[in-house]
Structures are given as C-alpha cells and as structure tokens.
C-alpha cells in the first residue's frame, strides 16, 4: 500500500481501498507463469501471434489468447491489426509493460542471486517434513 508518509501525501479524494483492490487484481493477472513469459518475450521485440507462441513454447492457442487479452486489458500489451488479407496482428509491450518487464527481470536476477540458498532451504525443509 505505501508508507504512512506516502499515504498522507495523497489527495483526500484518493480511494485507497479501490487502489488496493485494483493492485491485487493486476497482480493476480500478471503473476502467472504464462504472463511472465509473454512479458519477457514481447519485451525483446514486437511479435505476431504464432511467432510469440513458438517463442513461449508449450502454450496452447487458447491460453495464449486469454493471457494476451488480459495483458491488453490491463494496458501492458498493445495489439495492432494490419489491414491485410489475411489480417496481420502484432503484439508489443506498452510503456507500462516495459516497466513491468524491468521488475520481472529484477525478480529473475534475485532468483539467480539466491538460488543456492533457496535450494538449501528446500532441502532442509523436506528433511524436516
């Protein structure tokens, strides 16, 4: 949510409950295996649907479509339809999507930094279970 100082600096009309609810909804939408992979690949370049599907690997047509729609709904992906026959559709990250990609990259860096500690903790936990 924010620190007390950050919260007190908000205008009185700010609806913190609504902002918190929206944040939770967005986190739920993007914190999936497929969404994170889509964000990572589209962060590299604009792609057409089947190109993105090949790059992600192992994702069905239906699941990719659902995830792209969710990311587009949240303003993270932009869908561009080119008037050709058949229509050509391209997907790219918006500025918000690019900013989120940096956060995702930070999470990946964190994982690499602490991978051996995480593995050791899991071994200890499984030994005590």
C-alpha–C-alpha distance, residues 80 and 89, integer Å:
6
**Residue-level pLDDT at 11:** 65
C-alpha–C-alpha distance, residues 44 and 15, integer Å:
36
Contacts 24+ apart (CB under 8 A), 20-26: 26/74
Q: What is the pTM assigned to this prediction?
A: 0.76
| Tens of pLDDT, residue by residue, the chain (129 residues) | 456 666 566 565 666 666 777 788 888 888 888 999 999 999 999 999 999 999 999 999 999 999 999 999 999 999 999 999 988 999 999 999 999 999 989 988 999 999 999 999 999 999 876
**Residue-level pLDDT at 26:** 85
């Amino acid at each position: 949510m924010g620190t007390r100082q950050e919260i007190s600096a908000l205008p009185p009309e700010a609806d913190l409950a609504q902002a918190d609810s929206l944040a939770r909804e967005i986190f739920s939408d993007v914190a999936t295996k497929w969404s994170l992979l889509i964000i990572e690949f589209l962060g590299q370049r604009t792609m057409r649907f089947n190109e993105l599907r090949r790059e992600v690997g192992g994702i069905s047509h239906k699941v990719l479509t659902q995830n792209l729609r969710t990311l587009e709904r949240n303003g993270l992906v932009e869908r561009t339809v080119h008037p050709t026959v058949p229509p050509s559709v391209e997907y790219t990250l918006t500025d918000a999507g690019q900013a989120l990609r940096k956060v995702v990259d930070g999470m990946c860096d964190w994982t690499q930094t602490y991978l051996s500690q995480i593995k050791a903790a899991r071994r200890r936990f499984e030994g005590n279970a």
